[in-house]
Structure 1
Amino acid sequence: MTTVSDVLELVRAPAALTVLGDTAAGAQVAAGGFDRRGWMLPLASVAIYSGGMALNDWADRDLDAVERPERPIPSGRISPRRALAVAAGLGAVGLALAAAGGGRRGLAVAAPLVASVALYDLVAKPTTAGPLAMAACRGLDVLLGAGGSPRALPAALAIAVHTLGVTALSRGEVHGGSAADTALSLVATGAAAAAVDSVGPGVQTAAARLGGAAGSAVYLAAALPGQLAVVDDPTPKRVRDATRAGIGSVVPLQAAIVARGGSLAIAAGLMAVHATIRQRGRRGRKPGTGPARGDVT
């Protein structure tokens, strides 16, 4: 019998915290924050992201039966049909929330975002274009918060570049990392941090610049150690740890962008989310428990 816990595991529920700041970053740099209905856009992001995770496991069900038999579908806790229904339902909810929170402009971004998620899961993921496809998904998620405004393009690019590096690195979660993917992740992390100062050219206060720099520093401190560890020891465990850290480190990057766009209060809230993710990770890490499930793949 499928339980709520099984469904939450299928959609990687804790990882959904990492997408809340995408739309906040887009809204902040494009319009100084959300309008009165904009609070629905982060929820749209969570629904689309979670649906994508369910679709990912549906598409990988045969491979997971060999490499990750403990996952909900190959272990028999969730049937493939039910997993596909969860994916479709969450995608539909995400589109509805995007339309409610962002109107036609929100839906105009959310529709290609959902299509991009499906393209990654069903077609692009095992190919060399996989990291680029995932990067496009997160860039579109930032633009969702901005209603597609070109003013949010630098912020969307920063998040996309970060995602490119993390996704490339994650390809070694089962069989170990490659030097090329590790190098790409390091370059992407540095480029994303360097891009923060360019996301809010209209906001030149000392507080905004300092907040952006502080957020970038926290981002680098969260992402780089794991990646550097993979350079020395590219084993699957090191890659999984670095991938998990990379996924979580996007939150201080979002906070840096929001702060650079002029909202220190929202940036502080995102930093609190980051602290929650790190604390949960420390509690949940159990030495010697075998292969991790993987957060991207």
Structure 2
Amino acid sequence: MSWTDDYLELLRAPAVLTVLGDSLAGAAAAKHSMTGRRSIMPLASASLYAAGMALNDFADREIDAVERPERPIPSGRITPSAALGTAAGLTAVGLGLSAIGGGKPALMIGVPLAASIWTYDLAAKRNAVTGTLVMGACRGLDVLMGAGTGRLRAALPAALTMAGHTVAVTALSRGEVNGTSSVVAASAAATTALVSSVVLAGSVVTGTSATSRDSSEKTRKTIAKIAATCAALAVYTGQSGRAQWRAAQDPSAHNALGATKAGIRSMIPLQAALTLRHGSPMSAIAIGSVDTAGRLLRSASKIRKISES
């Protein structure tokens, strides 16, 4: 395995793609156009997420030496100091990109987001409740960073939606090694259903209000927007809910891990649904292309592992 592969594994390269849509969802809710410098906001999110992944492995290096010895640090492929330096560097890059892309309003959210990431990895995650809530806050703040401090109220529902889903997935992830509980998995499945219902209801209410005063052409566009939002939510619910329900029936470590991975990947169609709900189809298309890229990366990774074995 090459030096590049080692760092891509440390930073969870495919998983980083799942965070790109956060700032797009926040921007859509705030009615920001993702053009010019603002178009780099997803890269700010990606840098901060990757920093969290490197810091996570630094903080968990002793646990991983027992439970996941194949990871980059315990296997000796990356030193702890290199991982910590990577986390610090990517944090600085992420904050710099947020300042360039969204100016002071975005940076004022980026700073507490970065602080929350470091707090989670170095302290909060040692407690199940605190860690789960802080992780949810990280995802919510990432959405708000796309909106900026001047549009927080408009983006708050989208932020709470992503935060709620993240809390459920994080609770499940704590059972990846020793298994979860049926209650936790069932609660995650219920959260998925609730999130879908809330987003859909918001889209329908907004659409109904618009069609009462719009022309027939705008009415057709509104109906198309609601239909597209429904389609994205169907993908989200099917992808996340099915795996969570399986874990609820059999809360083994294998099913908890599968539900966690499904929950992380399903953030992409959820982000797409949020951008569609706020009338940003181009952002939804961009998010869809990210999903395709993630699938290709995972397929390439599987092929490489097969060829190496």
Cα 1:12–1:182, aligned 2, differ >3 Å: closer, same or farther?
A: same
| Structure 1 residue 285: Cα displacement | 5.3
Given the alignment, which residue of 209, 214, 217 partners 2:226?
209
Check whether the contact 1:52–1:117 (CA below 8 A) recurs between aligned residues.
yes
Deviations 1:185-220 (A, max 9, x none): 112211221221366676642222222111111100
Secondary structure of the structure 2 residue equivalent to 1:38? helix
| Structure 1 residue 169: Cα displacement | 0.5
Residue of structure 1 in register with 2:148 after alignment: 147
Given the alignment, which residue of 294, 303, 309 partners 1:277?
294
Given the alignment, which residue of 171, 174, 178 partners 2:174?
171
Q: Give TM-score scaled by structure 2 length.
A: 0.88
Residue of structure 2 in register with 1:158 after alignment: 161
Distance (Å, rounded) in 2 between the aligned partners of 1:234 and 1:106: 40
Matches within 5 A, 1:45-84: 45-84=45-84
Cα 1:35–1:198, aligned 2, differ >3 Å: closer, same or farther?
A: farther
Q: Out of 237-246 and 44-53, give the one that drifted further.
A: 237-246
| Structure 1 residue 278: Cα displacement | 3.8
Q: Give TM-score scaled by structure 1 length.
A: 0.91
Check whether the contact 1:154–1:198 (CA below 8 A) recurs between aligned residues.
no
Distance (Å, rounded) in 2 between the aligned partners of 1:37 and 1:195: 32
Check whether the contact 1:24–1:33 (CA below 8 A) recurs between aligned residues.
no
Check whether the contact 1:106–1:147 (CA below 8 A) recurs between aligned residues.
yes
Cα 1:35–1:276, aligned 2, differ >3 Å: closer, same or farther?
A: closer
> 2:285 matched to 1:268?
yes
Distance (Å, rounded) in 1 between the aligned partners of 2:92 and 2:22: 19
Distance (Å, rounded) in 2 between the aligned partners of 1:121 and 1:170: 14
> 2:252 matched to 1:249?
no
Output the amino acid matched with 1:120: Y
Cα 1:96–1:199, aligned 2, differ >3 Å: closer, same or farther?
A: farther
Larger radius of gyration: 2
Structural RMSD (CA): 2.1
| Structure 1 residue 233: Cα displacement | 1.9
Distance (Å, rounded) in 2 between the aligned partners of 1:183 and 1:202: 30
Distance (Å, rounded) in 2 between the aligned partners of 1:198 and 1:225: 22
Residue of structure 2 in register with 1:130 after alignment: 131
Q: How many residues align?
A: 288
Output the amino acid matched with 1:249: S
| Structure 1 residue 102: Cα displacement | 0.7
Distance (Å, rounded) in 2 between the aligned partners of 1:279 and 1:168: 28
| Structure 1 residue 241: Cα displacement | 1.2
Check whether the contact 1:54–1:86 (CA below 8 A) recurs between aligned residues.
yes
Secondary structure of the structure 2 residue equivalent to 1:71? coil
Secondary structure of the structure 2 residue equivalent to 1:222? helix
Check whether the contact 1:158–1:191 (CA below 8 A) recurs between aligned residues.
no
Distance (Å, rounded) in 2 between the aligned partners of 1:139 and 1:35: 22
Which 5+ residue runs of structure 1 have no aligned equivalent?
Answer: 290-297
Secondary structure of the structure 1 residue equivalent to 2:180? coil
Q: Out of 124-133 and 196-205, give the one that drifted further.
A: 196-205
Q: Out of 208-217 and 60-69, give the one that drifted further.
A: 208-217
Residue of structure 1 in register with 2:255 after alignment: 238
Given the alignment, which residue of 172, 192, 196 partners 2:199?
196
